[in-house]
Structures are given as C-alpha cells and as structure tokens.
Amino acid sequence: MKTVVPSAERPDGYLTSAKRVAGWLRPAWLEVDLASVAANVAHIARTVAPARVCAIVKADGYGHGAVRVAYAAVEGGASYLGVALAEEGHELRQAGLDVPVLILSEPPPEAMQMVVEDHLTATIYTVRGFSALLEAARAARPDGGGRAAAGPVPVHLKLDSGMHRVGADEGTFVELAAAVAGQPELFLEGAFTHLAVADEPGNAYTGEQLRRFEAALARLDGEGTKPRLLHAANSAGALCHPEARYAMVRPGIAMYGISPGPLVAGHAAVAALRPVLSLKAQVSLAKEVEAGERVSYGLRYELAQRSVVATVPLGYADGVPRRLYEAGGEVLVGGRRCPIAGTVTMDQIMVDCGPGAVVRAGDEVVLIGRQGDEEVTAWEWARRLGTIAYEVTCGLSPRLPRIYV
C-alpha cells in the first residue's frame, strides 16, 4: 500500500492533487475517513458499555487498510483488535500496535511460533491446536530462548453454538478449558462463540445460540474454570442484541459505517454510524458518440441518442464487478447518477453521461460515496449484485491506493 504524502509536503513540480498518492499516477483511489472510524468505534463503545470493544480489522480492515484503521479504532476506544490470520496480527505488531490482538480462528500448527513471538492471542478449538500452541509456548521459555518477561500465552476457546463453521462442541470445549488451565505456559483468558443470524432481529436462533453458550459456560464454572473475557456479539449482535454483549463485543462492518444487514439498517444504533469509505476516480477521456453506436466488449450497450461517453480508469481488476453493468450499476458525475455504459473491463469503465453533458477529462467520478445530494453505497452495489456489502469492500483491489482523510 502506498503512503499518503500530503500535498503541502510534496516537492515543487510534483503532482499536488490531493487525489494522488506518492508514486501513483493513475487517477483512481479509495478515500478512507479515519475520523469516522474513530467516531463509529466510540459510538459502539458507548452503546455496549461496560463491555469492551474488539475492533475487527481482518482482510486488510475489510478493504480499508488494516494498520491505519486499527490505529483509528484504538483512538476511538477499542481495547482489543481482531484478525483472521497470524500474518495479519504480525502486520499490526510490525506497525507498532501493542494492544491485544485476537486471532479469531485457530491458527495452523506452523503459525503458532508467530503467535507466541508476536504476543498474539490464540483461538483454540481442537486438541491439535492446543498441542501446537503449547509446543510453541514451551519452545519460547527462557531456557528455550524466549518469552519469559511476557508471561503465559493468552488463549480464547471458541464454542460452536450452531453456526457449524469452526469451534469445539461442548464436550471438547470443556476438556480444552481444563487442559489450557493446567499448563503454566498458557493462560485461559477468554471464551466465545459466533452468531449466525444476529442481523435478522426476528430470528429466534440467536437466542438458542446464546443458550447453548451459557450452558457450556455453566459447565466450565462447575468445574472451577471461568474465563474472564466472554464474547459472542458481532456488529449486529453488539448493536441490536444487548443480551449478547457479555464482557466484550467484536464489531466489524459497523465500525466502517456500514449496516450489518438490510433488516437492521433502521435500528437507531445502526443509523447513527458514519460512512467511512469512498471509491473515486477522474474521467480520463470524454467524447460524443452518435445514436445507435454500441459501447464496450460485446457491444451490448446501445446509445438511444447522441450522448457524451466518459471513460473512467478502473475496472474489475480494481474490484468493480464485471456484471455491475448488467445489474444496472450507476456512478455519480457532476452530482448526477449516470449509468455504466457496457461491460466493465479489466482497467476501465465507460459511463453514459447523457446528451450535451459538460464532462471533461479530470472531472471527479464517484462509484461509492457521496457527490452533491446523491449517494451510492456499498449496500446499493450489494443489492444489485445479489451479495452483501462486506464482499463489496473486501473485493476492492490493493492496486487502488488508499488515501486517509
């Protein structure tokens, strides 16, 4: 990822547009509003208090840039960070973030050394994972060259309460708790589960999952094992299900200012979130094209009348799905909605700006975000494409520079 160089700090004669990134000349970019990230995390923290916030920054911060977003989340009140991979945790440590970092799925055995060396918090739900982590922790003891001052490795156990993706069944959950508690190299800090339908407020399955979680916790308590940090709530759980908050919540999509789902978009706590990401570009070429002419690969878009067609330099290699045209995708030019004209190509799209439109090379085009009184959201893309907003933002390519506002 390129580092933003503020225009005021650039040498004379360099491209000074705030829309450019040092070393990047193609006019297409993502703008990420870090103040809104911090504000969203602060809002979530107020909503769920006294529970603490574990800000989820996996998948490069849902496409927003993990490191910069993580710093903003901590500024907003997050006391924990969540990632999917040991490598993602390593990136945060290399960037100087020293808050606890939870790996949300059990790392493979070959990753456990990185977990220990980077002082990450491991999730465990199999005997294999437990054994691998214990081996790595023992290898890092003072006599093995390593971890003395940092103390035991913190562990969170994950229960499969009904989503059936990852997690231990109740019996294994209880056995692993006793095994972790019996090893001085490990520290049983937390226990958690994951909710499958928290974004469906009327679905009783969320309550059933919490009941199963409580039953497993009761068995731990009965055997004298009681992790202090319990958590179950994702974004929808945190904002819409107070009974799921426990000691910590794990907001992901909400901290990026995006509703966890259409059915909870009107919830007051969700509606208060601030948008974070905008996808923008500049027109690279504009020309008038005669009525009856066809545009782009396959010649599927026919102009009903003479119109101004603008070429915009980003395409499916940047995360603009090829079928967005077929789904009726629109962009904003001059504060107006304009249809994508023809098939999205690898590096460019064409836009039908309408008859007589005053559009020139260099004009701003907004694919996601606000321009004037109009707005295109990630959920609008998702609805058109039959997917979810999470996939839209995670699909935005690393070759798009991120500009942090």
What domain range includes position 261? 34-271
Quick one: 257 and 282 in the same domain?
Answer: no
Task: State if pTM tops 0.85.
Answer: yes
Q: Which domain CATH number covers 287?
A: 2.40.37.10
Q: Tell me what pLDDT residue 18 has.
A: 39
- Annotated active-site residue 316? The verdict is no
> Annotated catalytic residue: which of 58, 62, 256, 316?
58
157 touches 176 (CB < 8 A): yes
What pLDDT score does 24 carry? 64
pLDDT value at residue 71: 98
Catalytic residue among 205, 297, 301, 404: 297
Is residue 340, in this structure, part of any structural domain at all?
Answer: yes
Same domain? 256 vs 291: no
- The helix or strand, by DSSP H or E, that contains position 370, with its residue range, turns out to be strand 364-371
Q: Which of these three, 271, 292, 316, is where a domain ends?
A: 271
CATH of the domain at 237: 3.20.20.10
Total domain count, the chain: 2
In a domain, 3, yes or no: no
Q: What pLDDT was estimated at residue 8?
A: 34
The pLDDT tens digits along the chain (405 residues) read 333 333 333 333 323 333 444 446 789 999 999 999 999 999 999 999 999 999 999 999 999 999 999 999 999 999 999 999 999 999 999 999 999 999 999 999 999 999 999 999 999 999 999 999 999 999 987 665 554 446 899 999 999 999 999 999 999 999 999 999 999 999 999 999 999 999 999 999 999 999 999 999 999 999 989 899 999 999 999 999 999 999 999 999 999 999 999 999 999 999 999 999 999 999 999 999 999 999 999 999 999 999 999 999 999 999 999 999 999 999 999 999 999 999 999 999 999 999 999 999 999 999 999 999 999 999 999 999 999 999 999 999 999 999 998
Annotated active-site residue 58? The verdict is yes
Query: What was the pLDDT predicted at 206?
Result: 98
Contacts 24+ apart (CB under 8 A), 200-207: 200/261, 200/263, 201/240, 201/263, 201/264, 201/267, 205/162, 206/237, 206/241, 206/244, 207/243
Measured distance CA(298)–CA(255) in Å, rounded: 40
